[in-house]
Structure 1
């Protein structure tokens, strides 16, 4: 059964250095020397959502609220091409955070990797006798889409690309990426073995940014990367063009078309977007810039609750408490079309009563939000405190309290 309530009206060579066990971010390449050129604002006439011809698949989500601002075919499966490498990077950063890998670990280029990936597609030009660090490989993968770098990273860390793919797919399942499977560590065509959806890619980008904010800023949004004396530029169509843009990754194959997973942050509000299956790079890039700017300019954002604020109570069965508080992990707000006051309805839903034990932070309920004229969306609600299993005396007292109501 469900319980609810409603409310109306919400460049290239800088790296990381380890000192006394802490990770210190070196300066960004663009900051070494001349300041980057100021970003010119996009004319209002160019703020818009993409046409279906420009972007058959498109999604724009406000991470500050979890709200979908624009969606087209967001759950349709497609081949992500090199955007696959964002999953590869996420799996690496997750293991770095756990101490299972280090940024200064060095991995040898195996003869098989050199033979298969030397100058094949996007590359960082790894030599046969190279022993790059994990940091160098991740910079090559993130900034210049290095196919060879992704394979060397996977083999070095997991022993084989198959073992690494096991990690990637396990991470995807943990993140709730239900429409994703990875059969390639770099997104190279594999006969349909690798696929994802726009909704899943937004989940991935959100986890990457939330869980690894400093490393995200270090590896993404760079204008390019220099390795082994060769400088290449990043093909990210929004970083340095759209104010606040800082990544993530482009992709292209004949099978997939042109794809982009991107993000930008302004005034504490972060948007993540997916453009997929475009026919040309020009269409994809134009659609990405126009949609991201539209997302910031066409909406007013209203903050409703601080992160951790109690939103409701859920009934508990068999616990040391009869109810548990429900909180949102992030500050909760809503974005509405600029200058409008649409009706807003919010309902808390959960399968209840909840069975004890419950741990603080468990996802136990959802807040369903409807704003007239916009797609509905859901915000996970977490238990605000631990609830243990009731002992005999607790059960008697709880039963008596229910009888008195």
Structure 2
């Protein structure tokens, strides 16, 4: 059964980070859940942690098992939501289209869903149903993106942060962490008249030659970053570290605007109490551009039918899959009947009238099914169910498309 345990969207960042699964622990978490509970894909981003499962466990039993495996605090269980079957499927389709994002309609989520799916494949934690579900979700998100054309009303956490930096006339910046979010920040900064950008990474090889050859950009190591704080007016921190990396005592006494784009937090909250520092976290950034967000919401509603379309398609596929054991039985029965007659034909193939023998064999094969259908029809007539039975038998046998 497809099920989902997720963190409620109204939880603030302090709660969300208690459920966050950092990249370094993801593979271990996936394998642990697979071994104990069932097939799993974990979608863990700065705004959400959602665990998609196909498991025989369900309800309270599944939730408790998941909290134990992931070492989550059960006192926080009220901050989670649990849904299953079609509701869970529909939720994922909505997520892939950006309906549940902090910045509604942002398309980063589609890449994050792909990454979550690929991580589960790598860990060997995903089965046939979840394979198909996430393939449908990615296709749904792509169709929504290009049909809805929501990108014509651009807004995302990195773009809002950079726009706020522009309003503050920032001329020099530091980007700590150069993953997907860090690269987006650089993309938006490059559209502004920024004089100097420092990119902080643990491994300088992670910054491409194309980026390094830009004269206004300097790549520095994580250990070097503190020496350059004095040279910047703005810091964008977006690492996947499980702990805080910026403390108040390490910052020079000068004006800063700092955007903490990470979950768990990169920046100690006391940094925001410094007189000369303006600190934004994910939640405060997402509240900045309400006008554009409302415009996107209204536009997206017109294309909600795409979510329903893919939800229904997956549900149909899943229903047909549930018939698989019965289909295999029918095929096995057909093979049994044909093998019997092939054996008879081999034994009698030297008869004088081969045409008559072939006709007899083919007719007896057809009769094997027809006689069984007649027996079932008689049984259902006695039970008073003959009308539905006649409809099904007519669809099977009285069909001009039979080849």
Q: In which range does the TM-score fall when normalised by the shorter chain?
A: under 0.3
**Higher relative contact order, structure no. (Cα contacts within 8 Å, ≥ 6 residues apart):** 1
TM-score of the two chains, using structure 1 as the length reference: 0.26
The structure with the larger Rg is 2
Q: Which has the higher strand share?
A: 1
TM-score of the two chains, using structure 2 as the length reference: 0.26
